[in-house]
């Protein structure tokens, strides 16, 4: 699919997952990606996955620090991770999810909700991250690595939330897997929504220019491909819709599945509101269901219900 006419549906997918303003300048961030990407962003990322014949690593886990100093997981990232594992498994690709202790049980619950059995590698100690990541790369030999809503180091190697607050002490620096992947010539895809996630080094100047606190929160970590969305989950959904269209297979489970995932994610918080709620970064569950339904409509497939 090389002509602009043939790519029109993929432009629509990109437009849909960035259609709701998230108060982070998402449309400007998307424009910055398209200035660099030769094809629609989800299409470029999907082609990377299809060209990578081995297994996949999916890496996620952005800590939310509450006012009392406790750390919890958020809904953005885990839902997209679970759907990616399910969709890639249909394509016959083995997956390993890499995360930290905060996200271990929530991701396990989400995968169980979809009936997916996959390896979850939990890295607990910050000081041994590079060693553990190197071991995983050696043991599993992935051909593609996807990061979704993963903290990315800034200009000073510190991690910050969207308010510019330094959260480095709470982060297990899993984004170093991108550096290690480059050394091993493993291709990488980043998915983010605000500028402080791994992969956003692609458009660091745009993040600094259009995102509030962008000068200090912008991640310098650059992946080979980048997907931005109004939420990171929606970026993952756009990727799955694109892969499904290219393979003539419905990889994006139906909207009822979104309801099931939110139920399984009841222990997680909305990352923006910092409260337990059936929402993602301020967007309601119904808005997520709407995005899923519209993506399914774009790729002209009957809805696929994930297996119990």
268-292 pLDDT, tens digit each:
999 999 999 999 999 999 999 999 9
Range in 144-158, 180-194, 241-255 the model is least confident about: 241-255
Give the per-residue pLDDT at 306. Answer: 56
Token digits for 16?
């849909």
Q: Dump pLDDT digits (tens) for 78-113.
A: 999 999 999 999 999 999 999 999 999 999 999 999
Q: Dump pLDDT digits (tens) for 59-75.
A: 999 999 999 999 999 99
Distances (CA, A) of 234 to 132, 137, 176, 279, 291: 29, 27, 24, 12, 7
Q: What is the DSSP letter of 39?
A: S
- Given pLDDT bands bounded at 50, 70 and 90, which one contains residue 3? low
Give the per-residue pLDDT at 1. Answer: 45
Token digits for 96?
């390993």
- Given pLDDT bands bounded at 50, 70 and 90, which one contains residue 253? confident
**Sheet architecture: strand order including 225-228:** 119-122, 95-99, 56-60, 144-148, 187-192, 225-228
Give the per-residue pLDDT at 6. Answer: 65
At 226 the three-state DSSP class reads strand
SS3 percent helix, strand, coil of the chain, rounded to 5, is 45, 15, 35
Indicate whether 5 pLDDT > 70. no
Q: What is the CATH number of the domain that holds 95?
A: 3.90.1640.20
Indicate whether 12 pLDDT > 50. yes
Token digits for 108?
């396990």
Q: Which of 114, 50, 48 lies closest to 81, judged by CA? A: 114
The upper half-sphere exposure of residue 39, i.e. CA atoms within 13 Å in the direction of its Cβ, equals 18
* Strands of the chain, DSSP E: 56-60, 64-65, 71-72, 95-99, 119-122, 144-148, 187-192, 225-228, 279-280, 283-284
308 occurs within a structural domain = no
306 occurs within a structural domain = no
Residue whose tokens read 């992935």: 142
61 occurs within a structural domain = yes
304 occurs within a structural domain = no
- Of all residues in the chain, the percent with pLDDT exceeding 90 is 86
Q: Which residues contact 120 (CB under 8 A, 6 or more apart)?
A: 96, 97, 98, 99, 104, 107, 108, 111
- Given pLDDT bands bounded at 50, 70 and 90, which one contains residue 120? very high
- Given pLDDT bands bounded at 50, 70 and 90, which one contains residue 252? confident
**In this structure, are residues 104 and 123 in contact, taking their beta carbons and an 8 Å threshold?**
no
At 104 the three-state DSSP class reads helix
Q: What is the pTM of this model?
A: 0.95
Q: Which residues contact 163 (CB under 8 A, 6 or more apart)?
A: 213
277 occurs within a structural domain = yes
Domain that residue 181 falls in: 4-299
Whole-angstrom distance, CA of residue 74 vs CA of residue 178: 22
127 occurs within a structural domain = yes
307 occurs within a structural domain = no
Range in 88-97, 100-109, 157-166, 295-304 the model is least confident about: 295-304
Range in 145-149, 255-259, 260-264 the model is least confident about: 255-259
Give the per-residue pLDDT at 302. Answer: 52
Give the per-residue pLDDT at 308. Answer: 44
128 occurs within a structural domain = yes
Distances (CA, A) of 150 to 137, 155, 159, 289: 18, 16, 10, 23
Indicate whether 37 pLDDT > 80. yes
Indicate whether 303 pLDDT > 60. no
Rounded average pLDDT over 211-228? 97
Instruction: Give the number of domains in the chain.
Output: 1
Whole-angstrom distance, CA of residue 54 vs CA of residue 67: 43
Whole-angstrom distance, CA of residue 168 vs CA of residue 5: 45
């Amino acid at each position: 699919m090389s002509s602009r006419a043939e790519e029109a549906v993929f432009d629509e997918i990109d437009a849909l997952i960035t259609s709701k303003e998230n108060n982070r300048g998402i449309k400007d961030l998307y424009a910055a990606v398209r200035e660099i990407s030769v094809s629609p962003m989800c299409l470029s990322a999907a082609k990377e996955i299809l060209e990578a014949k081995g297994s996949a690593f999916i890496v996620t886990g952005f800590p939310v620090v509450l006012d009392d100093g406790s750390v919890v997981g958020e809904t953005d990232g885990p839902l997209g991770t679970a759907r990616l594992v399910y969709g890639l498994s249909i394509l016959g690709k083995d997956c390993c999810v890499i995360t930290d202790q905060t996200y271990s049980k929530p991701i396990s619950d989400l995968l169980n909700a979809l009936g997916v059995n996959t390896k979850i590698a939990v890295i607990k100690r910050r000081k041994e991250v590079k060693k553990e990541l190197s071991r995983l790369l050696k043991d599993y030999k992935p051909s593609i690595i996807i990061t979704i809503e993963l903290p990315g180091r800034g200009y000073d190697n510190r991690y910050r939330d969207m308010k510019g607050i330094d959260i480095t002490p709470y982060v297990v620096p899993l984004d170093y897997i991108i550096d290690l992947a480059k050394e091993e010539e493993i291709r990488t895809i980043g998915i983010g929504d605000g500028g402080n996630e791994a992969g956003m080094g692609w458009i660091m100047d745009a993040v600094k220019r259009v995102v509030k606190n962008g000068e200090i929160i912008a991640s310098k970590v650059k992946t080979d491909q980048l997907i931005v969305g109004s939420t990171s989950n929606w970026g993952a959904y756009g990727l799955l819709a694109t892969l499904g269209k290219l393979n003539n297979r419905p990889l994006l489970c139906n909207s009822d599945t979104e309801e099931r995932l939110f139920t399984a994610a009841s222990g997680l918080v909305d990352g923006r509101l910092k409260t337990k709620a059936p929402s993602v970064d301020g967007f309601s569950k119904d808005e997520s269901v709407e995005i899923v339904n519209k993506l399914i409509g774009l790729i002209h497939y009957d809805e696929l219900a994930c297996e119990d």
